[in-house]
Amino acid sequence: MASTPETKLADNEVPQSSFFSELFSPVNLILTVIIVVLVYKILRSKFGKSSVEPPAPELPKIRKDMTVAELRQYDGTQPDGRVLVAVNGWIFDATRGRRFYGPGGPYAVFGGKDASRGLATFSVTSSDKEYDDLSDLNSMEMESVKEWEAQFREKYDLVGRLLKPGEEPTNYSDEETEETEPSTNNPEEKKEQ
Ligand code: HEM
């Protein structure tokens, strides 16, 4: 009555072939792949960026209104590599975005320049006008400039206003280091406050 006693295994014993086939079962393989991908993504998000990009140089913050001519020197070619970009009458410190606006970057033409018109018209060009008042831009283009300005405000430190010819710079020396963002988009209004 004994049924094949030589092939029967003890209750706690797993046959080797079955152990390996379970180890490499499709479910386990899929789980392993998922775990490897997740670990890779976590490691890449933690360490990947710093290994690809050199650490941004920590430059002292500057707070200053400038003319177009003064702005021009901050195109990233100076030894400190500072890059300033003006948008809609405001100057931003885009040194953090050197890879975009610094020498050799895809948007290097905006480094040390008023990028408003180029951004508004979706053209990677900048003019050397003494001051571009943007008055000929249509409402859609002006909307676009304002959106770019908001984006720059989010990402970069505000340096000051882009001065029209003859306009006097604001004295920021008394300003708190915890600088309060201007509540208006219009540099003119800000000046009148
Ligand atoms: C085929 C056309 C274009 C493609 C595929 C493209 C693609 C990109 C990409 C991939 C980034 C990087 C985003 C990031 O890593 O944060 C970028 C950034 C940027 N793009 Fe373009 N772009 C194009 C055209 C333009 C044009 C025409 C302008 C303006 C005139 C422009 C202005 C910018 C600016 C200013 C940034 C940097 C924003 C920042 O400071 O973070 N792009 N673009």
The secondary structure of 176-189 as a DSSP string is -SSPPPPS-S-HHH
Instruction: Check if 125 has its Cβ closer than 6 Å to any atom of ligand 1.
Output: no
Residue nearest to atom 40 of ligand 1 (CA): 97
Instruction: Check if 53 has its Cβ closer than 6 Å to any atom of ligand 1.
Output: no
Cα distances (Å, whole numbers) of residue 17 to 9, 28, 84:
13, 16, 67
Question: What is the CA(178)–ligand 1 centre distance, in A?
Answer: 30
CA distance 6 to 50: 62
- Residue 18 pLDDT greater than 80, yes or no: no
| Count, residues in the chain | 193
Domain 66-192: homologous superfamily in CATH: Cytochrome b5-like heme/steroid binding domain (3.10.120.10)
Question: What is the CA(149)–ligand 1 centre distance, in A?
Answer: 14
Residue nearest to atom 17 of ligand 1 (CA): 100
Asked which of 28-37, 95-104, 159-168, 172-181 is least confident by mean pLDDT, the reply is 172-181
Residue 134 CA neighbour count, 13 Å, CB half: 25
First to last CA, the chain: 104
Question: What is the CA(170)–ligand 1 centre distance, in A?
Answer: 32
12-34: average pLDDT: 72
Place 3 in a pLDDT band, splitting at 50, 70 and 90.
very low
Report the 3 state secondary structure along 123-140. Answer: CCCCCCCCCCCCCCCCHH
- Residue 185 pLDDT greater than 60, yes or no: no
Residue whose entry in the numeric block shows the structure tokens 């990677």: 124
Cα distances (Å, whole numbers) of residue 34 to 37, 39, 40:
5, 9, 10
What pLDDT score was predicted for residue 48?
Answer: 61
Q: What is the DSSP letter of 85?
A: E
Residue nearest to atom 22 of ligand 1 (CA): 106
What pLDDT score was predicted for residue 62?
Answer: 96
58-71: average pLDDT: 95
Structure tokens at 165: 């010819």
**52/149: higher pLDDT:** 149
137-141: average pLDDT: 97
Asked which of 23-27, 82-86, 163-167, 180-184 is least confident by mean pLDDT, the reply is 180-184
Name which of 193, 175, 174, 173 is nearest 184 in CA terms.
193
CA distance 71 to 153: 18
CA distance 33 to 26: 11
Model-wide pTM > 0.75:
no
Asked which of 26-35, 63-72, 86-95 is least confident by mean pLDDT, the reply is 26-35
Place 37 in a pLDDT band, splitting at 50, 70 and 90.
confident
Domain ranges of the chain: 16-52, 66-192
Mutation test of ligand 1: which of 84, 85, 100 has the most ligand atoms closer than 8 Å to its C-beta? 100
What pLDDT score was predicted for residue 20?
Answer: 67
